[in-house]
Structure 1
Amino acid sequence: MPKTYHLQLGPLERDLPLITLPNGVTIASFVLLGDAELTHYAAEQLLKKIKTDTFDYFVTVESKGIPLAQEITWLSGHKRYIVLRKAVKDYMVSPLTIPVEAITTSASQQLVLDGTDAARLKGKRVIIVDDVISSGGSLQAAEQLMQKAGAQVVDRLAVLAEGSAKNREDIKFLGTLPLF
Structure 2
Amino acid sequence: MNSYKISVAGVTRELPIIQVSSELSIASFVILGDCELVTAAAIELEKKIPEVDYILTAEAKGIPIANEICRLRNMPYYIVARKSIKPYMDSPIVEEVISITSQKKQILGLDGKDADIIRGKKIVILDDVISTGESLLAIERLAEKAGANIVCRAAILAEGDAKNREDIVFLEALPLFPNNK
CA deviations on 1:88-138 (whole Å, 9 max, x unpaired) are 001100100011111001220011000110111111110011000000001
Alpha-carbon contact 2:10-2:40 (below 8 Å) kept? no
In structure 1, stretches of 5+ residues that fail to align are none
In the alignment, which residue of structure 2 is the partner of 1:80?
77
- Structure 2 matches for 1:20-39, cutoff 5 A? 20-39=19-38
- Structure 2 matches for 1:1-180, cutoff 5 A? 3-50=2-49, 52-53=50-51, 55-180=52-177
What SS class does the counterpart of residue 31 from structure 1 fall into? coil
Q: Aligned partner of 1:18: which letter?
A: I
Distance 2:103 2:152 in 1: 28
Q: Aligned partner of 1:177: which letter?
A: L
Distance 2:22 2:44 in 1: 33
Distance 2:57 2:166 in 1: 19
Distance 1:4 1:149 in 2: 40
Please report the TM-score for the alignment, with normalisation by the length of structure 2.
0.95
Q: Aligned partner of 1:152: which letter?
A: N
Q: Per the alignment, do residues 167 and 86 of structure 1 end up closer, same or farther by CA in structure 2, a change over 3 Å counting?
A: same
Aligned length: 177
Alpha-carbon contact 2:45-2:170 (below 8 Å) kept? yes
Q: Per the alignment, do residues 137 and 93 of structure 1 end up closer, same or farther by CA in structure 2, a change over 3 Å counting?
A: same
What SS class does the counterpart of residue 166 from structure 1 fall into? helix
Distance 1:10 1:99 in 2: 33
In structure 2, stretches of 5+ residues that fail to align are none
Distance 2:9 2:56 in 1: 25
Q: Per the alignment, do residues 106 and 23 of structure 1 end up closer, same or farther by CA in structure 2, a change over 3 Å counting?
A: farther
What SS class does the counterpart of residue 49 from structure 1 fall into? coil
Displacement of 1:24 after TM fit? Answer: 2.5
Distance 1:126 1:169 in 2: 18
What SS class does the counterpart of residue 33 from structure 2 fall into? coil
Distance 2:48 2:171 in 1: 9
Distance 1:23 1:160 in 2: 23
CA deviations on 1:41-63 (whole Å, 9 max, x unpaired) are 1111011112x32x210010110
Please report the TM-score for the alignment, with normalisation by the length of structure 1.
0.96
